[in-house]
Structure 1
Amino acid sequence: MSDAAEKLAVVTKVRADDVAPNRRRGGDIRVVLSPKTVASTSGFMGTLTLAPGEFVAEHYHPYSEEFLFVVRGRLTARIDGTQLVEVGAGEGLMVPKGLPHRVWNDGEEEVYAIFHLSPLAPRPELGHVDTEPLPSSGAAEALPDVGGPN
């Protein structure tokens, strides 16, 4: 098998609807492409759905930048406890590593966004640090299982 054919053989497609939602930090978070699902080695990507009034609790990523792109709706992000940024459909936001951030939907329309984190933390449990109490509805749910770096 040629190198090109071998690379094509490992291409994997994953449907967001086939991934179990995680609500531990708030909203509906689905890690779609990750070391666990597609053997990625540089980061992971997923979807975030926030109903009106929902939020993702404040946290930070000690090893990763987070890229957030809003497909539908409008959300508000609080960065580093003070900076408020509204992000609407067709707009993206990059949160530098180490900065605490929280996002919420204070509108009347559902928000649908795509996120990507890169690079990967050395181990999945080191990837997120929570800095506020988690929503009670998801506090007992496990952390998203993105797998570890290959």
Structure 2
Amino acid sequence: MLRNPGDVATATFDWGAIKWFVTPSAVPGAGSTLGEVIVNPGKGHARHHHPNAEEVIYVISGEAAQMVDDGEPFLIREGDALHIPKGVWHSTYNMTWRPLRLIVTYTPGGEEKALEAAPDYCLHEPGAIPEWRPV
């Protein structure tokens, strides 16, 4: 099943946006989740974990401070890939002026549903272009 950015909704948050291209709830038979994440300059994901799924992060462009398992933050940048085991605490902060673009996967899929409970979660219909405003 081919899906392009115009085919899927955009979830926005105070820190950026996500487009989930493959999820078990949207693609029949899918067992994993894959999406593109944009983290705005000076923003990031607070410390969190996925108790039921491992995560893989691939950096398309930009760089960020990455923390894994409550260790010292380290730099991730374009071309880097990172595996986060199931249940491990982690955070990602874009400390630069450029947007950070990531490909993110969850195995097994379904962990993306937890983001819908975030207080700043907003879902935009496929094809809609969210308006970005500095906070």
Scaled to the shorter chain, the TM-score interval is 0.7 to 0.9
SS of equivalent residue, structure 2 residue 73: strand
The root-mean-square deviation of aligned C-alpha atoms, in Å, is 2.6
- Provide the TM-score with structure 1 as the length reference: 0.69
Structure 1 unmatched runs, 5+: 1-11, 144-150
Residue number among 53, 69, 93 corresponding to 2:58 in the alignment: 69
- Cα distance in 2 for partners of 1:96, 1:25 equals 26
Structure 1 residue ranges, 4+ long, deviating more than 4 angstroms after superposition: none
Closer, same or farther in 2 for the Cα pair 1:140/1:91, shift >3 Å? closer
Instruction: Tell me which residue corresponds to 1:79.
Output: 68
1:21 aligns with 2:10: yes
Determine which structure has the larger strand proportion and give its number: 2
1:102 aligns with 2:91: yes
Closer, same or farther in 2 for the Cα pair 1:54/1:17, shift >3 Å? farther
Which residue identity does 1:77 align to in structure 2? Q
SS of equivalent residue, structure 2 residue 25: helix
Which residue identity does 1:59 align to in structure 2? H
- Provide the TM-score with structure 2 as the length reference: 0.76
Deviations 1:17-50 (A, max 9, x none): 4322223473212211111222243210001111
- Cα distance in 1 for partners of 2:14, 2:69 equals 17
Structure 2 unmatched runs, 5+: 124-135
Counterparts of residues 1-150 of structure 1 (less than 5 Å): 12-24=1-13, 26-120=15-109, 128=114, 139-141=119-121
Instruction: Give 1:128 deviation, angstroms.
Output: 4.7
Which residue identity does 1:63 align to in structure 2? N
Contact 2:22–2:30, Cα closer than 8 Å, also in 1: no
* Higher radius of gyration, 1 or 2: 1
